[in-house]
Amino acid sequence: MNRGLNCAFAANRVQVDTIGRPMVGAVIGDLLTNPPACASDAGSWCYEVYQTTKVSWLAESANWLVAKPLKIIIILVFALVARFLAQRLIDRMTRDRGKAPSILRPLRERSPSTLGPLMSERRSQRAKTIGSVLKSIVALCIWGIACIWILGEFGFNLTPIIASAGVVGVAVGFGAQNLVKDFLSGIFMLLEDQYGVGDVIDVGSTSGTVEAVGLRVTTLRDSSGTVWYVRNGGISKVGNSSQGFAVAVVDVPLNYVSDIDRALEVLERSANRATSVEPLSEYVIEEPKVLGVQSLSSEGAILRVTVKVRPAKQWATQRELRREMMAAFVAEGLEVPQTTNGS
C-alpha cells in the first residue's frame, strides 16, 4: 500500500514539474518578447529600442535609460557653449586696443586728460572689473537655468525648490549684508566712474592717490606713502580732486605796517609772471585772480590769490606761486608777520 502511495505521489510531482516549467518559461518569454504598450507609438524611444532589441522591459525603460540622460547631456553641452560664447564676447568688449574698451563707451567717463599713461591702466582696470561682474552674472544665470531644466527632467516639483532658494538667498544676504553692500557700492562706483586709478580723493577717514579700485575695497596711498584699504560700502562721500578742473588757492600773510594796495599789485604781477612760463603755463586754465584780504588776525592780514588749473595740478601750482610771491615781497620790502611759538 505504501508503495502505491509513493508511486502516485511521484507521478503527481512529475506532472506538476512538467506542467510548471513550460508555464514559467512562457511567462518569462512574454515579458521578454511581447511588445509593451508604448512600442505602438512610432517614433518614440520605446518603439526604437524595442525594434532594435525586442526586449520589452528595456523598451519600457528607454525613457529613463536613453531619453533623459541624452536630454541632460544636451542641456549641459548647451550651458557650456553658451557660457563660453558669453565670456568670449565679454572679453572682446573689455579688451583695450589703445582706445577705450567698447564696454565703456556707453558709460560716462570722468577721467582727467592729465593722467597720461595712467589713462590706459585706469580704463583697463575699470573694464576688467565690470567684465568680471558680467561674467559672474551670466554664469549664474546660465547654470541656474540649466539646473532648473535638469531637475524638471527628473520630475521634481520646482516651486518649493525655487521658494527655498529664495529664502536661503535672503538669509545669506542678510547675514553677509556688509559684503553685499561693499560689492554693490563698488559696482556703482565703477559704472558711474566716480574715481579711478590716478585720482586724488578724500573719503573722510583718509585721502590719497587711488592705486586700485576693486568691487570690495579701494586702495589708496597717502602723501606719506602709507597704503590704505577702504571698504567701498563704508564710503559715504568722496571728494575727488582730479575731475574737471582744480583751483590753486594761495594765502599770503602781510604785516599791518605794510601797504595792502601795493602788496596786492605785487601779488598780481608775480602771479601773472609765474603762470606765463613753464611749467605753470601748461597747468593754468584761467588767469590768476587776486581776491584781496581774506581774513584778519592778531599778527596781520591774509591775502588770497586763486588760479584755475588742470586736475591734480593745484598743489604744484601753489608751491610755485608761494615761492614767486615771497621772493617778490622780499624784493619790494613788504613784511610778513613774525610768529613766535610759545612753550
Distance of CA 160 to the CA centre of its chain: 31
Taking only the tens of pLDDT, the chain with its 343 residues reads 445 444 444 444 444 444 444 444 444 444 445 666 565 556 565 666 666 666 665 565 666 666 677 788 888 999 999 999 988 888 887 776 656 666 555 555 555 554 455 556 666 767 777 777 788 888 888 988 888 888 877 777 777 767 776 777 777 666 667 777 888 888 888 777 788 777 888 888 888 888 888 878 888 998 888 999 998 888 888 888 877 788 889 998 888 888 888 989 998 889 888 888 888 888 888 888 988 888 888 888 889 999 988 887 888 899 999 998 888 888 888 877 776 444 3
Of 238, 246, 135, 225, nearest to 196 by C-alpha is 238
The per-residue pLDDT for 215 is 79
What are phi and psi for residue 221, nearest 5 degrees? -125, 120
- 286 C-beta neighbours (distance < 10 Å), count: 12
What are phi and psi for residue 250, nearest 5 degrees? -125, 120
What are residue 334's DSSP bridge partners? none
The per-residue pLDDT for 313 is 84
Of 173, 171, 170, 180, nearest to 232 by C-alpha is 180
The per-residue pLDDT for 175 is 67
The beta-strand segments (E) located in the chain are 200-202, 207-213, 217-221, 227-231, 239-240, 246-255, 289-296, 300-309
Asked whether 63 and 46 are in contact (CB, 8 A), the reply is: yes
What are phi and psi for residue 246, nearest 5 degrees? -135, 165
- 40 C-beta neighbours (distance < 10 Å), count: 11
Asked whether 217 and 165 are in contact (CB, 8 A), the reply is: no
Task: Report DSSP state, residue 109.
Answer: -
The per-residue pLDDT for 14 is 44
Asked whether 256 and 301 are in contact (CB, 8 A), the reply is: yes
Q: Can you tell me whether residue 36 is helix, strand or coil?
A: coil
